[in-house]
Chain A
Amino acid sequence: MNRDGDAHHDLPEEVRPLARRLAAAGLADRTAGAEVADRVVMRTAHLLREQAAALPAQRGLRRLLPWLVAPATVAACALLVVAVLRPGLTAEPEPRGVEVLAANLEHDLETWLELDAEWRRDSFENSLAALALDAASVAARADDPSALPALENGS
């Protein structure tokens, strides 16, 4: 069973020299890479410095945020309280409103009753029938283009 720390112990004998040679090649490349790493550090450190410079500003903004949000939160709570506790915002209508509504309904009822009473009069029904005939006549003449000038003149 191979363990991470033992590179070649469990390899077949015939490939162990090859494994050692590969390891040597890798070591040579990593050794050459040490100088590369030094240059990479020099060329990339500024990328972290930019973040380090920006951090205090970000931290400041984060600290400021609760102070900006708090007044809005307080205002929203106050509105809620006022909305709940303010008199008049209940489901029950005001007494004056009920009076007005009752008055309107009474007026409408009287109007309907009057109309209803009218129906009992023969003259009312006759008047309505005459109006209907007139309306039909006007409609028929409206379909006749030659009759348009007469209609416009009120005849």
Chain B
Amino acid sequence: MAGAESRPSQGPADLTGLVRSASAGDERAWSELVGEYGPRVFALARSRLRDPDEAEEVTQSVFATIAIKLRGGQYDEHGRFESWLFRIAMNRVRDAVRRARRERGMASRRAAAQQDDVPASEDRSAPSFGALRDAVAALSPADRDIIELRYHAGLSFRQMADLLAEPLGTLLARHHRALRKLQKAIDSDADAHAADGQVTTPAGELQQ
């Protein structure tokens, strides 16, 4: 189960044909494209923005842009649809983060982050990942990109190398370092909680 869940998505078998059909107005092709990449874009936005409603807005904005550009024949990244899509997604997420910071202020965001940030109505069955999200949020932007593109957007390292225009070896090394930093941050947090009488799992979640 762990292997299947953690394996990056391979994408549709005939992505080029799908994009071509969607550009021609084939709604079934469009539905398939959004069905494949929509959840991944949402997961990326959700990880960064924390608010599911904002994440949905960003996701819709991304695919509206994609649809308009396909409509207008402005897609010319032949064979690199995924890089193009996630480049747009990352830019939209960054814009949304900047906008949120301006509107709310960093202090109110810290206060919001300390609360339960996964609404019960949305995520009743899944375990809370609040502490893990906090630790990821504390990473540097470059490290955070790697973690979120890898585990939320489901990109392979090769896809990330193409998207970020960085060597594959650099990304692999950065990924390893990011995990170690995360682990260290979680361990420090666990020590702090232990001092307060609370217990955390090795992966950083508080045990009830």
B117 smallest CB distance to A (angstroms)? 12
Among A14, A38, A45, the residue within 8 A (CB) of B27 is A45
CB-CB under 8 A for A18 and B203, given A11-B176, A48-B67? yes
A44 pairs with B64, CB closer than 8 A? yes
Q: List 9 A-B contacts (CB under 8 A).
A: A6-B3, A25-B152, A32-B39, A33-B46, A34-B35, A37-B38, A37-B42, A41-B31, A51-B72
Q: Which residues of A have CB within 8 Å of B22?
A: 48
A62 contacts the other chain (CB 8 A) = no
Residues 22-40 of A at the B interface (beta carbon under 8 Å):
22-34, 36-40
B186 contacts the other chain (CB 8 A) = yes
A40 pairs with B7, CB closer than 8 A? no
In the complex, number of A-B residue pairs with CB atoms less than 8 Å apart? 177
Among A18, A38, A39, A44, the residue within 8 A (CB) of B67 is A44
B38 pairs with A40, CB closer than 8 A? yes
A86 contacts the other chain (CB 8 A) = no
Q: Which residues of A have CB within 8 Å of B205?
A: 21
B60 pairs with A26, CB closer than 8 A? no
Cα A20 to Cα B150 in complex, Å, equals 12
A84 smallest CB distance to B (angstroms)? 42
B71 pairs with A48, CB closer than 8 A? yes
B126 smallest CB distance to A (angstroms)? 4
CB-CB under 8 A for A18 and B8, given A25-B133, A33-B46, A50-B71? no
B67 pairs with A28, CB closer than 8 A? no
Cα A46 to Cα B133 in complex, Å, equals 36
Cα A44 to Cα B56 in complex, Å, equals 13
Count how many chain B residues have C-beta atoms less than 8 Å from C-beta atoms of the other chain: 66
B residues adjacent to A (C-beta < 8 A): 2-3, 5-8, 22-27, 30-31, 34-35, 38-43, 46-47, 52, 55-56, 59-60, 63-64, 67-68, 70-72, 122-123, 126-127, 129, 132-133, 136, 147, 150-154, 156-159, 172, 176, 179-180, 182-183, 186, 201-205
A residues adjacent to B (C-beta < 8 A): 2, 4-8, 11-12, 14-15, 17-34, 36-41, 43-45, 47-53, 55
| Chain A interface, DSSP helix/strand/loop, else mixed | helix
Interface centre among A23, A30, A53 (most CB of B within 10 A): A30
B82 smallest CB distance to A (angstroms)? 13
B202 pairs with A18, CB closer than 8 A? yes
Q: Which residues of B have CB within 8 Å of A51?
A: 23, 25, 70-72
B186 pairs with A18, CB closer than 8 A? yes
Interface centre among A11, A24, A25, A50 (most CB of B within 10 A): A25
Q: Which residues of A have CB within 8 Å of B72?
A: 51
Cα A29 to Cα B117 in complex, Å, equals 13
